[in-house]
Amino acid sequence: MPPESPPPAVGPTRPARSAQPVRRDGPPSPPGGERVRRRRRFAIALLLYAVLTVVAFTLVVRFIQRVAPLYDYNIQNVWLQYSLLCAIFVAFAVGVDWAVGHLPPRVRMQRENRLRLALLGGLTLAAIVARYQSRFPPDPELGLDKGIVYLVVGVLGAYAGVLAATWRAYGLVEVIAPPSADIVRLVEEAHAHVVPAHRLWDHAKRGIDAAASLAILIVSLPISIPLTMALWWQDPGPLLVAKVAVRQAGRSFRQLKLRTMVKDAEAATGPVPAAPTDARVTRLGGLLRRTHIDELPQMINIAIGQMSLVGPRPERTVFVARHLTNVPGYAERHRVPPGLAGLAQVYGDYYSTPREKLRYDRLYIRKRGPGLDVHLFLTAVALAFFGVRPGARHRRRERQRLRQQERRYGRAYEALRGERVGERD
């Protein structure tokens, strides 16, 4: 009589363990091998930083003691004095990057970490020089403490040095997924019938744009420098990104922005709109995108006449080429220069479809004037910094808008790419 089989188990059962060992691709790595290598590299970086600190302190003391007597301990020309100091810091940062790059391959650091080490060494040297100079009386011409002045000059010099090294390695402007010459030419030919706007306000607005953009650039310098330094530290590489967009009369230009994503963010995907929660966006970059501070470099585009403070938001050339075929009358939005703030930006949202944006842009072109431009610009500033949106007086309505944003992103993605989110070519 055959033995009785055991009763079936009640509830979830665990799968039986295989007696065969799990096969892995490639030779098995030693336990903790990667962790040991990371600790070794970190220890080498700390050692290099300590050596750089000692060398910097020694150089500062000997430099001041040997060179200062040649100028009777005082360089009469203040600008020459600080220019020489800045040049020393630039050379120091570039030299650190070069020296670390020529270490043996076993201890060589990644390019991004080399640049970070160069900046850290420059900042340390600036702190040492500032501490030494703080013992002397304030500068009579500037009326400021010498320690503070030397610290600022040293930080700017070290930052300029790592930017020079960054320019050699990556460039300072990353052009994202540039269109082909044929697409640029086809877009320009499609706008041959478009007549640029020539009201009196359009001519007066050009002078206002140039003056206002230059003033904003100068006033924002104390904020822009530490901001770009923090962005650069997160992911050393180009400071700016340039999107090839369409301006008045269908001509293409490079729309500048602060780089808030990792390098080569669209290398694998091509031109795509950023998702509400995009893994390519850095931590600080997400904050800058929400407050639109990343668009501050577009003041350069406005100053040279490629954009305006208020107008239809610029669209990328590759997307315009598709919209000209799918959306009738789309070229009409390029009768006026593109703007930093627009009607669609204020009363629509980032994921408005091309047809919806075109309706807003046509309305703006018909109603444009000093009053409307001032209203749109101030409203866009309030929306960027305080989150105040016209018509969103109730929190319930704003929550509904946020819930709809994900669906609108899918529709915008499909309109721009010709496919749904998640599909591959």
The residue that leads in pLDDT, 267 or 365, is: 365
| Euclidean distance between CA atoms 269 and 26, whole angstroms | 29
What is residue 17's predicted lDDT score, i.e. its pLDDT?
42
What is residue 177's predicted lDDT score, i.e. its pLDDT?
85
| Euclidean distance between CA atoms 43 and 175, whole angstroms | 36
The residue that leads in pLDDT, 348 or 121, is: 121
What is residue 333's predicted lDDT score, i.e. its pLDDT?
94
What is residue 30's predicted lDDT score, i.e. its pLDDT?
44
What confidence category does residue 144 fall into, taking pLDDT thresholds of 50, 70 and 90? confident
What confidence category does residue 381 fall into, taking pLDDT thresholds of 50, 70 and 90? confident
pLDDT(256) > 90: yes
What is residue 69's predicted lDDT score, i.e. its pLDDT?
59
What contacts 24+ positions apart, CB below 8 Å, involve 380-386?
380/292, 380/340, 380/341, 380/345, 380/346, 381/341, 383/346, 384/291, 384/292, 384/293, 385/291
What kind and span of H or E run contains 191?
none
| Euclidean distance between CA atoms 90 and 69, whole angstroms | 24
What is residue 100's predicted lDDT score, i.e. its pLDDT?
84
Residue type, 17: R
| Euclidean distance between CA atoms 290 and 164, whole angstroms | 30
What does the block give as tokens for 65? Answer: 């003691």
pLDDT(291) > 90: no
What confidence category does residue 251 fall into, taking pLDDT thresholds of 50, 70 and 90? very high
What is residue 7's predicted lDDT score, i.e. its pLDDT?
45
pLDDT(9) > 60: no
Q: What is the pTM of this model?
A: 0.75
Region 129-148: mean pLDDT is 82
Of 13-17, 128-132, 182-186, 340-344, the range with the lowest mean pLDDT is 13-17
What is residue 64's predicted lDDT score, i.e. its pLDDT?
61
The residue that leads in pLDDT, 108 or 170, is: 170
- Per DSSP, 257 falls in state E
What kind and span of H or E run contains 333?
none
Region 39-61: mean pLDDT is 71
What mean pLDDT value characterizes the chain? 79
| Euclidean distance between CA atoms 159 and 344, whole angstroms | 38
What is residue 248's predicted lDDT score, i.e. its pLDDT?
94
